Amino acid sequence: MKSIHTKIKDCIGIILIFLVFNFIISLNVKILAINPDEINVLAIPAKISGNQWYLASKLYYGWGGAIFYYPLFALIKNPITIYRGIILVNSILLSFIPCISYIILEDFFEIYNRKIKLLISFFLGIYPGTFSMAQYGWNETWIRLITWIILFILLKLIYEEKNRKIKSFLLGVLLAYSYTIHGRMIVLIPVIIIIYLYFFISKKRSILSISFYLIGFLLTFFIDKIIKGKLQVWFFVSQKGSLINTFSDTVNNRLNVITDVNTIMSILRAIFSYLFYINITSFGIFALALVLLIKLWKENNTQNLKYTIVGIFSVIGIIFSSIIGALFFAKDFTGTDNFYIYGRYTDHFTSVIILFIIVLIIKKKIDMSNIYQAITITLVHSVFFLLIESNDVNSKMVDVNITTLMSFSPNYVFDTPEKFYMVILLLVIIAVYMLFILNTKIYLALIMGISIYAICDINLGYRRIEKSDKTFEVIENKYQLLQMIKESKKEKISLNFITDGQIPPAIYLMILNGYNVNYTEEFVEQNIFSDREELSLVSESKESFMLDNNIYKLDIKNNKNNKFDLYYKGDELKNILENKKVKAKKHNTYVIPLNNIFTTSDSKELNNGIVKSHSIMYGPYIELRPNHYQIIIKGENLDKDTVSLYITYKNKKNKKIAMGYKVIKKEVNQFIGEIEVNDFIQDFETIIENNSNEDVNIKSMTIIVK
């Protein structure tokens, strides 16, 4: 009884420590960061709670973890609070990993020393590739947790005879359910099959009830098919056939690719690189695990069966995950993201492999010859890795795909091969030292490992907050107003999010939850044409696109990092804003910045408004919506017959077209022309051709809606 109380107390303590750290981070995080991995996952609970997100990326990322966020979306209205709640839920989930490892150490490996159990559990739980996953609203949290739950159930099946059918059914459910979280989790199926066969050959008995296992697996798989069909209707109706980014889609689309010799070599290179990532971020422990698993396999001693099974689960799991990861990215190896250096698809097994080695060290001890073999593998692997991969290192490599490695990098970026060399060299030195002291000074090794990983986690937490602040500042001074508007109207408000391509609008779907957000060109235009336009968040560079006699621009100043303006249309919003004393001005006039006007003379930009003799002025290349406009040009020498005005634009097919106009006034100091725009146009251009012998002086150019 005392042992149970101690176990519960220790697990609660572990959960609280993990929760407190991520609670501090969550208080400073406001917005998601990963497109589309977070967006396409959180769109599911958002939809169930009544908020439809349009997904520009048609990649399916799984529903198994996402549905557990539904209560947060249903009960909480503030999107920042929802997202912070997701981080806290993730923190609790990931804190179960050290708790599960704590129980495994005692129940299956007879390690009763409380101090060593706590140190091992912290070391496993604090691994950056696990710990930092809580800070995002995606499936990676669930992937890491379910890996440990399946290992726990597997060990229960092997060493406890009671409730065998229930546990077999549960294992089948969990294996199929892991596939609902992410397609790559199919790797667990062959791993379990190998363990089943190994145990059957060694012990001459089955570890599970096949019939109950299959019932659980097939039932969950059938439910998954039904839910995927529903998700396809909700988000991916344009796709024909199966969803994109599932394992079946990967196999179907890679079969024709992997027949190419170059692609096969790229896949082998990627596998080699993925295994290196796991080895170097685990301080050489993967290499040692490989050596010891082969040794255990050769010895074929039934007394070592439980060690061998954990070894197979972790080592074979990593190898198979590397193969599946390489297949997933077989078409992407030539991109700037550099999918050759990648860890996220494999490192959910890293903490398990660390458990395997530490348990062997404590219970069996390890020959120094095995340590030397692991060090040799690590050194040789490092040399070949650096020779092959260093030239492809670039600053566009995605941080969350190589989290642990990136946490060692100065300035959190690999922008030069030299910086990459430095980090790898540091990790090689740590790995060699750790491998030496693991076998002789286990306490020192664990404390050192925990300290290094803790520093990495602090760095990653700081970078996560920094990333959130940078993304949020784009709409920071509009956020409270957007919340007020949303809460002031019962029906969902349509919001057009119009950018100039500098930011991905989808990244803001969470912070704008509760609005019907349109951010693709097609949907924005449909919204305007169908007269459903209400609220618009628009990049400063798209100001001309909003010109209309019924549109008002809110008087909110921008700063250097906030280049978006808020516009509204309609009496209902007008009344809401006026009641809140929010100032706005009718947006029917656009003054063209003269620095957006160019000439063919020596100076590229319009110099002091001068269009020199026998030169041409052109610009400003803006967008306009359907409307009746006046173009007013003020200056000098505008009335000469040898000074001509032309207007052009580009249509939907990107074809340049001349536009006719009606001359209202042509005087020395002013020109007024009228145009009729019947469709959405881009690259609108006014051309002044000065064929006179005098310079034309342009003082201002204005577009007004009639």
State the DSSP string of 270-323: HHHHHHHHHHHHTTTHHHHHHHHHHHHHHH--GGGHHHHHHHIIIIIHHHHHHH
Is the distance from CB of 689 to CB of 643 less than 8 angstroms? yes
Q: Would 476-587 and 594-705 be classified into the same CATH topology?
A: no
- Is the CB of residue 388 less than 8 Å from the CB of residue 379? no
Please tell me the predicted confidence (pLDDT) of residue 102: 96
Degrees to nearest 5, angle at CA 261 with 256 and 266: 95
Q: Report which DSSP code applies to 513.
A: B
Determine how many CB atoms are found less than 10 A away from the CB of residue 49.
18
Is the CA virtual torsion 295, 97, 461, 75 positive or negative?
A: positive
617, 690 Cβ separation under 8 angstroms: yes
Those residues of the chain that have pLDDT short of 50 are: none
pLDDT at 462: 94
Token pair in block for residue 549: 């006699």
Between CA 518 and CA 307 the distance in angstroms is 54
For residue 91, what are its two tokens?
């923190």
Residue 508 pLDDT: 94
Give dist(CA 263, CA 19) in Å, integer: 44
Q: Do 533 and 572 contact (CB within 8 A), yes or no? A: no
pLDDT at 409: 86
Torsion of CA 360, 366, 369, 375, to 10 degrees: 50
pLDDT of residue 57: 80
Question: pLDDT digit string (tens) for 57-112?
Answer: 888 889 999 999 999 999 999 999 999 999 999 999 999 999 999 999 999 999 99
Q: With the C-alpha atoms ordered 239, 242, 248, 252, is the resulting torsion angle positive or negative? A: negative
User: Within 13 Å and on the Cβ side, how many CA atoms surround 297?
Assistant: 15
Q: pTM, whole model, 2 decimals?
A: 0.91
CB 82 within 8 A of CB 76: yes
Structural domain spans, the chain: 476-587, 594-705
Q: Helix/strand/coil (H, E, C) string of 146-164? A: HHHHHHHHHHHHHHCCCCH
Tokens 């973890």, residue located: 65
In whole angstroms, what is the distance from residue 486 CA to residue 577 CA? 11
pLDDT at 233: 86
Do 516 and 493 touch, CB atoms closer than 8 A?
A: yes
What is the predicted pLDDT for the residue at 335? 61
Q: Report pLDDT for 236.
A: 79
- 73-89 core/surface letters (b: 16 or more CB in 10 A; e: else): beebeebbebbbbbbbb
Comparing C-alpha atoms, which of 484, 502, 626, 489 is closest to residue 554? 484
Q: What fold does the segment set 476-587 form as a domain?
A: D-Maltodextrin-Binding Protein; domain 2 (3.40.190)
pLDDT value of position 664: 93
CATH code matching the domain that covers 594-705, chosen among 2.60.40, 1.10.3470, 2.60.120, 2.40.160: 2.60.120
Distances (CA, A) of 438 to 197, 284, 425: 32, 11, 20
Burial class (CB in 10 A: 0-12, 13-18, 19+), 32: buried
Query: Taking the alpha carbons of 345, 249, 60, 496 in that order, is the dihedral positive or negative?
Result: positive
List Cβ neighbours of 698 (8 Å cut-off, separation of 6 or more): 594, 597, 606, 609, 610, 611, 617, 633, 634, 635, 688
Rounded Cα distance between 55 and 257, Å, is 27
